[in-house]
Structures are given as structure tokens and as C-alpha cells.
Copies of this chain bind each other. A is one copy, B any other.
Amino acid sequence: MLFSLTRSRRLVPHWRLVLQCRNIKSENTARAAVLDSTISAFRSICGEDNVSVGEAVREQHGKDESVHRCCPPDVVVFPRCVEEVSGLAKICHKHHLPIIPFGTGTGLEGGVGAVKGGVSFSLRSMDQILDLHEEDFDVTVEPGVTRKALNAYLRDTGLWFPVDPGADASLCGMAATSASGTNAVRYGTMRENVLNLEVVLADGTIIHTAGKGRRPRKTSAGYNLTNLFVGSEGTLGIITKTTLRLFGIPEAMVSAVCSFPSIQAAVDSTVQILQSGVPIARIEFLDDVMIDACNRFSRLSYPVTPTLFLEFHGSERSVEEQVNTTGDIIQSNGGADFQWAQDTETRNRLWKARHDAWYAAQALRPGCKAYATDVCVPLSQLPQIIVETKKDLIENKLTGPIAGHVGDGNFHCLMVVDPNNPEEQHHVHLFSERLARRALAMDGTCTGEHGVGLGKRALLCEEMGPMAIQLMHCLKDTLDPNNLMNPGKVLLPRQL
């Protein structure tokens, strides 16, 4: 393949060349020496208080919400503007220090761990909402702005940003991982809702993926750099600004909960609702184990059977009609106990129960941690994969309630794992690999929305095939020839 040539361009830093025959401990010592000499340079850029080598701060920046072990960076910097990010990146580039962007740490695939040491760029101090254009339905945010903060800011404008992965993640972090969540079936994922990005590359260069300040709602101007960085998980550059599409807040929102006699009946209803053209905003599946956990955790009393949580957005009349059409479809599939929630309080309680599924799952086994699988398959494959997966869970005596964004074919097993039981962890790992391969065999993906991070690099190779993986390596080499940007994530090291 022609572009394998690029590999030769990866430069090896001096201190690594010196050490290449020694062990990793020595390498760490050498890096520590380099770091010592750079700390003062970092401080001269972003101020004494915005550079930390304290153990607690480093620990906090070495892990996300996943089960991946904590890999603390050597130092954490807190830049306050893009110029500081660029200046800090230039120092890292000069000294060949890894750069790991850090948003809110709410990722689920170990994306922020400093597996090769280096410098964590915490972007929380860059928290300005810039350039809101109400008439144009767009806004630009810095990387410290979370989705809830943006929506609170927008409250009086009649606009909102609907992409909702559950956690109150930073919007630039959501762009970096190509996040989506419950509203994607109607409003799309980050891929469809990012108009422009400001990115600092590995050498400190600042680029704007759609040209500086540009925000047309569509464009055919050159290569789509925006979507090259969306989902790149910090391995190609640091996102320092995101321009987002906004939407009008619907006049009416109605939520509903409905129980089904079988998984097939719930999924058949989903397909028919989509086929009928109902512009459903959310359609979430919970299996019997998940709804039972939610009942216990959130003090609810839904029937313990496969369940759909639904939400309809639109004008009063349109919502009424959506609800009627959906009600007919659900009834014809044997759905029962169709429960409504129109007032904000009841709706919020309902969706809080759904968003708390993560904690509800963990509460099934006190002292345990949750690990979420994240496959996505074509809709028609959902019943089969869920049934097979539940059988697998039972056969292997694993706790893994299922919740899913079934309108997109995306679902999660929330595996509840004893962090002190390596054997169990190994079993869960094998289970999640079997699940991912089941999805791949059904034309699906090993990750619908959490990203690859550390844990799915081998699965990504199976999913994409060697040629597409080689192309991804070449893109990485082109943008980051020294492998400084969040090294060790997304792509496995190449076989030399």
C-alpha cells in the first residue's frame, strides 16, 4: 500500500534514542529530568498556579469514569486561552513530551490516561461561551463549557443544544469522542452538529477546520477537516473551540413509558415508529434487569419486562398526533401500561431515572464498578443480538443490565464488576469481546458513541480491516509524526 512510506517520518526524540535499549523505568527517569527543566517554561506561559505536579491533581487527571486503571500524567497544566495552549504545546513538541487533552474526565474508554506519561492539558479554565448567533442557530464555546452550562445559558433564547450523552461532559470533549446519546435519533450526533473547530496541533500550530470564524450551515469547501477531528479522541490535536448548531426548543415535549411482552415486540415497535415517519426525539430500551434496577434505585414501580422510554417533541398538535400514532403501533405489538408525562417535573423524574441507570446498575452490587459496553448494529439485528447477549450473560453468571438508544441500534450492557476480583474482570473482558464480535458479525460497530480509547484498539482493527487501519495510521503520522498527541489511544502500535 503506497502510503506506508509515511512511517519513516516518525522521529525519535533524543532522550528516547539514548534510552532505547534500557528499560521503561529509566525512560521515565529521563522524561522526569526533561520535565523538571520544562516546568518553569510552562509556568512562564500560563502562570505559577496553573501548572501542577501535585500527586492528587495528577491522579485526578489520569483516569475517567471507566474501569481502566489510573495513569497519572507527569504534570497538569491549566491554560487560559488558545495562545497558552499553543505555547505549552510548542514546549512539549520541542521536548517530545506527550500531550493529553482533559475535559471533564467523563469518558468511558480510558481516553485521558497518560499511558506514556507526559502533560495533561486540563481545559476547564477556558469556559467562555462566545459568539451566540440566535438568528443563525449557532454558538461557539471554549473547551471548559459543558452541555448543561450551555443549555442553562441558552434558556431564555428559545434555543438549545440537544446532544445528550447523559454525563455533563464538555462540548469540546464530546466533539473529541464523537458523542451522542438519547436525542441522536432525532437531532444527530456530534458529527452532524459541529460546524467548525479551532484545533491546536502537536507542534502548537493553531488551525480552524472550516476557516477562522466561519459558520455556514453547509459547505463543500475542500476536505472535511472538521469531521477528521470529531471523534479523533485527542490523538490528532487539542480542540480549543467548537462551533455548534443549535435548535429551537420545541413548543411541547411529552414523555412516555411502555412495557412489552418481549424484546422483539419492543424493537418491532421501534422500527415501525421510525417507518411511520414519527419524528421521535428519544426512544430508549431497557431490559427487564435494567428496569428492575431503576425501580429499586429511583423508587419506581414499572413492570419488570422489556421497556421503552420515549419522548416526543413538536407543537402541541404534532406531539398529540405522534403520541396517537405511536400508541397504536405499541398496542399492535402487545405493549401495555403506556404511561404519560407531560409536565416538566414528571418528565425530568422519568429521564433522571434513565440517566441514573449507570448508578442503578452499580447499586445492584454495592462496592462494584460499572463498565459499559457500546455496540451498535442495524435496527433489524437488535432483537437477535440482545437475546443472544442476555443468554451469554446468564450462562456466564454476569450482571449486565441492558439500556440502549434503540432508534440508532445502539445499546449498552452496564457490566457491574468487582474491582478487586481480577478473574471476574477477565470474564467481563471476554464477554465484551464476544459482544463486540457479535455486533461485527451483524454489520455493526464495536462502539456507537463511547469511542475506542484504550480498550477497543484491537477490536477496531477487526472492524475496519488492515487497509483502513493503515490509512488511519498514515493520517496520525501526517498530523502527529512524533506520536505526541494522546499516544497509545485509538490505534495499536504498528507491527514494524
Interface bits A196-217 vs B (CB < 8 Å: 1, else 0): 0000011101111111111111
CB < 8 Å: which of B449, B465, B469 contacts A212?
A: B465
Interface size class of A (residues with CB under 8 A): 35 or more
Q: Which of A370-399 contact B (CB under 8 A)?
A: 374, 376-381
Judge whether A221 and B188 touch: CB under 8 Å.
Answer: no
| A219 contacts B by Cβ under 8 Å | yes
Chain B residues within 8 Å of A138, by CB: 378
- B1, B207, B219: the one within 8 Å of A205 (CB): B1
Contact of A216 among B215, B248, B378 (CB under 8 A): B378
**Chain B residues within 8 Å of A223, by CB:** 228, 231-232, 236, 472, 475-476, 490
Residue of B nearest to A180 (CB): B218
B225 and A231 form a contact (CB under 8 A): no
Chain A contact residues: over half helix, strand or loop, or mixed? loop
Given contacts A227-B191, A277-B250, A467-B205, contact A220 B177 (CB under 8 A): yes
A304 within 8 A of B: no
Does A5 sit at the interface, judged by CB under 8 A?
yes
A207 and B471 in contact (CB under 8 A), knowing A222-B460, A223-B231? yes
B315 to A472, Cβ gap below 8 A?
A: no
Q: Is A106 an interface residue (CB 8 A)?
A: no
In whole Å, how far is A90's beta carbon from the nearest beta carbon of chain B? 11
Min C-beta distance of A57 to chain B, whole Å: 28
Knowing A203-B2, A321-B318, A378-B133, the reply to whether A248 touches B219 (Cβ < 8 A) is no
Binding site for B on A (CB under 8 A): 1-3, 5-6, 9, 93, 133, 135-138, 158, 177-180, 184, 188-189, 191-192, 201-203, 205-225, 227-228, 230-232, 236, 248, 250-251, 271, 274-277, 279, 314-315, 317-318, 321, 325, 374, 376-381, 408-410, 440, 443-452, 456, 460, 463-465, 467-469, 471-472, 474-479, 481-482, 490-491
